[in-house]
């Protein structure tokens, strides 16, 4: 029997998947627990439309990620921080600071969760980092930390 999952079901599939399961499993477990609905004609058409919209959205997001990668690839981001003796920073450079600097300097909206610093930055200097884009696409950039 074909069913459309309403919620993630371990070892069966994820929410929104169309899966083939035995009739008994569908009726006695999936339907009773509200985990799935039967894949009838109308529901299958609706599911296909949702899948089409999902693929379209994924393609658009992937294209945007490729455009951002072209725009940011190899670029530098400058962050100015207060320093103490011997170039040590008061505090450290955070993902939030880097995201704000990218937005300000390159006019690209980046979420702080998508920035991957290789180490905690507490000194002046240049540091490589990655920005995670959509669909496993990453872009390499350089962070330049200077004194205020």
Answer CATH for 73-147 from 1.10.10.10, 3.10.430.100, 3.30.70.1400, 3.60.10.10: 3.10.430.100
Q: Is 85 exposed, middle or buried (0-12, 13-18, 19+ CB in 10 A)?
A: exposed
Does the pTM of the predicted model rise above 0.75? no
How many residues are recorded in the chain?
A: 148
What would the CATH number be for the domain defined by 2-67?
Answer: 3.40.5.10
Provide the pLDDT for residue 68. Answer: 93
> How far is the C-alpha of 109 from the C-alpha of 143, rounded, in Å?
17
Tokens representing 43 are 């529901």
Mean of the pLDDT values across residues 31-60? Answer: 94
Name the average pLDDT for the chain. Answer: 93
Mean of the pLDDT values across residues 80-95? Answer: 88
Provide the pLDDT for residue 91. Answer: 87
Provide the pLDDT for residue 84. Answer: 85
Instruction: Provide the residue ranges of all domains of the chain, joining segments of one domain with +.
Output: 2-67, 73-147
């Amino acid at each position: 029997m074909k069913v459309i999952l309403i919620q993630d079901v371990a070892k069966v599939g994820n929410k929104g998947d169309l899966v083939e399961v035995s009739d008994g499993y569908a009726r006695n477990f999936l339907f009773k627990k509200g985990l799935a609905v039967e894949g009838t004609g109308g529901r299958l058409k609706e599911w296909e439309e949702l899948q089409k919209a999902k693929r379209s959205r994924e393609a658009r997001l992937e294209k945007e990620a490729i455009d951002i990668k072209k725009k940011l690839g190899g670029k530098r981001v400058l962050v100015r921080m207060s320093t103490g003796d011997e170039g040590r920073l008061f505090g450290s450079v955070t993902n939030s600071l880097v995201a704000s600097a990218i937005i300000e300097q390159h006019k690209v909206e980046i979420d702080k969760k998508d920035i991957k610093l290789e180490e905690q930055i507490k000194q002046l200097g240049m540091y490589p980092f990655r920005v995670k884009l959509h669909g496993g696409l990453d872009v390499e950039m350089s962070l330049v930390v200077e004194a205020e």
